[in-house]
Amino acid sequence: MWAIAKQTFKAAVRYRFVVAMAISLLIIVFGLPLMIKSDGTAKGMVQLVLTYTLGATTALLGISSLWMGCGTLAREIEDNVIQMVAVKPIARWQIWFGKWLGIMLLNAALLIPTGLAIYFLIENRSNSDELSSSEQDKLRNEVLVSRSQVNLPELDLRLNRARAYAYCKLVALGKSQYSPSEQALRMSVTNPEHILSLRGQDYISLVEQAEKNPEVIKDVEELEHQAIQMYKGTTEIILPGQSYQWVFQIDTNKVDEINKRPIYLRYKFNAGDEYDPKSHLCTWTVGAGTGKHWPANEQPKQITVGSSVFHELELNLEGGVVPDQEGPNHGRVVVNFFNLNEKPIVFLNKDGPSILYHDGGFGLNLFRGLLIIYFWLGLISAIGLMASSFLAFPVAAFMSIGILLISASTGTLEQIVEEQGISGIDHETGSKLAPSALDDIAIFMSKGILWVTNSVWDYSPVDNLSSGRTITWKSLFWAFTGIILFMSGLISAFGAFMFNRKELALPNPTASMN
């Protein structure tokens, strides 16, 4: 297998593919920064350089991996060269994995110098005498750093029908005194179940009808869906004049270390609609009720910033912002937002907010980020090789590109899941116009594809690196497990299986297997 890998690598070198790629990467690393126009700040510039160079490197190596994946096997099959290898004492799956290893060797040979070049370029820029010490500090604290992210706990969106039904019945009784079992039920209901009880009579009636008439089950599900969405809305939408509080629990063992440096509140909001980029007034206080108030003057911090993009608010106090006294507030960072605008402000759950704190240097974070990119390249190579295991080169390339495009275009799939199918929605009532079995199939398939694509693309190392956020070892492990072991493993198994079945000496490519 190692011999095949070396052979694949040698082919790329001898055909000058490596030289062409190296020149292209040099242009990306050293040429792109010359063309980028930033917001004028050193931080903005470095963020853009990181985003563009890493993004372009990923794209270029992704395309080359796909090309190599499709070409190295398909071409050897078409030229019959593979026959000479296949008659030697090496299993077909070993040939397949040898090819994959060879492409990964090539990717490593290109990615490692590129990563080093990016690192030294950025370091050189950040240490430049042209930057003031405050700009350098800002760079060191906000971009060229590894900051851990503390997120809010996941919303509990569970809705158990039996429990919701029982709870609705209990509420409908209008009791003021409860038996122990009733009290236990009251304490166990989730927020969506509680919201459902506001339409208790309707729900009870529909659930009882559904027992006799299965067609009514759709209406029950619709009501439950609305309850869940309503609960999500209460956690995301802050109406004019209202405030909202988030509580972040930071690892108490790290509080002393964290308090030595400023921490950051990272947030993004939408106003009006998700794509409205106008500026809005944001009013913040941190530490209410914990004894650690920020700002120190205990006045709310007011800033006007644009919507639909991420912002960072530096939380800096003498002695740190995170409560460090033993007790219930130890490690709790309480953040309050006041909506003093005339429009609702929406903080989508998927976008945070979150707290960032320093936990390491940029170099190691870049290394982890490059490893995730490397895993992606492994998956792309596997897709190319899989396609070329049973298709001719042009068809294999077309198929692989198609798979990548579909996996990167998840908007439509998300919409199908969100709108509960592909049939239309009556926007006045919010109910489906003509639900059918096709909706169920579309939802099932969309969820499946989304699950697969999200498990691959959710790691976003470029975004993390340009915003100075830590790519944890844990996320690296899961990226390896998800992208390499699971996804690439499945694709490789299928590819190797197809290659094993393939008759390598068929007289022409249209002849089929027996």
Partner 1 sequence: MNSTETVISAQGLTKVFKDFWGRSKARAVSGIDFEVKRGEVFGLLGPNGSGKSTTVKMLLGLLYPTKGRISVFGHSPRHVQTKARLGYLPEESYLYRYLNSEETVDFFGSLFHIDSKERRERAEQLIQMVGLENARRRHVGEFSKGMQRRIGLAQALINDPDLVILDEPTSGLDPIGCREIKDLILTLAERGKTVILSSHLLSDVEDVCDRAMILYGGKVQAIGTMKELLSNRNATRITSPALSRETMDKVLTLIREDTQSQEVHVDNPTENLESLFLNIVEQARQRESETSGATSGHQVADYLRGDTNQNKTDRALDHLTRNEESPLNPPDREQQKSKPIREDKLAGLSKIETDPDQQPLEVTPNKGEDLDKANDKLSGLLGD
C-alpha to C-alpha distance for 196 and 164, rounded to whole angstroms: 7
Per-residue buried b or exposed e for 434-456, using 16+ beta carbons within 10 Å of the residue's own CB: eeeeebeebbeebeeebeebebb
Is residue 414 a contact point for partner 1 (CB under 8 A)? no
417 in contact with partner 1 (CB under 8 A):
no
Per CB under 8 A, the list member of 40, 89, 180, 327 interacting with partner 1 is 89
Q: Which is nearer to partner 1, 8 or 488 (CB)?
A: 8
Contacting partner 1 (CB under 8 A), which of 48, 63, 86, 210?
86
Q: How many residues bind partner 1, per CB under 8 A?
A: 28
Q: Taking CB under 8 A as the rule, does residue 84 contact partner 1?
A: yes
Closest by CA position to 2, among listed 370, 10, 393 = 10
In angstroms, what CA-CA distances link 496 with 107, 169, 510? 21, 58, 20
Per CB under 8 A, 429 contacts partner 1: no
What is the smallest separation between the CB atom of 94 and partner 1, expressed in angstroms? 9
Min dist CB 69 to partner 1, Å, is 18
Region of 29-37, 301-309, 415-423, 504-512 interacting with partner 1 (CB under 8 A): 504-512
With CB under 8 A as the contact rule, the residue among 7, 136, 243, 431 that binds partner 1 is 7
Q: Which stretch binds partner 1 (CB under 8 A): 61-69, 84-92, 280-288, 329-337?
A: 84-92
Among 34, 37, 39, 88, binds partner 1 (CB under 8 A): 88
Beta strand 354-360 pairing with 263-267: antiparallel
Tell me the window of 38-46, 306-314, 414-422, 505-513 that interacts with partner 1 (CB under 8 A): 505-513
List strands edge to edge, sheet with 146-151: 146-151, 354-360, 263-267, 311-315
User: Whole-angstrom Cα distance, residue 57 to residue 26?
Assistant: 10
Distances (CA, A) of 86 to 38, 173, 339, 488: 54, 77, 69, 23
CA distances (Å), origin 136, targets 119, 122, 315, 357: 16, 12, 18, 18
Q: Does 20 bind partner 1 (CB under 8 A)?
A: no
In the set 79, 129, 130, 215, which binds partner 1 (CB under 8 A)?
Answer: 79
The rounded distance, in Å, linking the Cα atoms of 232 and 213 is 30
Q: Does the protein bind partner 1 through residue 427 (CB under 8 A)?
A: no
**How far is it, in rounded angstroms, from Cα 189 to Cα 196?**
10
Nearest residue (CB) to partner 1, 46 versus 77:
77
Alpha carbon distance 123, 131 (integer Å): 12
503 touching partner 1, by CB under 8 A: yes
- Least CB distance to partner 1 at residue 278 (A): 58
Q: Which amino acid is at 495?
A: G
Q: Which of 87, 112, 303, 408 is in the footprint of partner 1 by CB under 8 A?
A: 87
What is the binding site for partner 1 (CB under 8 A)? 3, 7, 10-11, 14-15, 79-81, 83-91, 503-507, 510-514
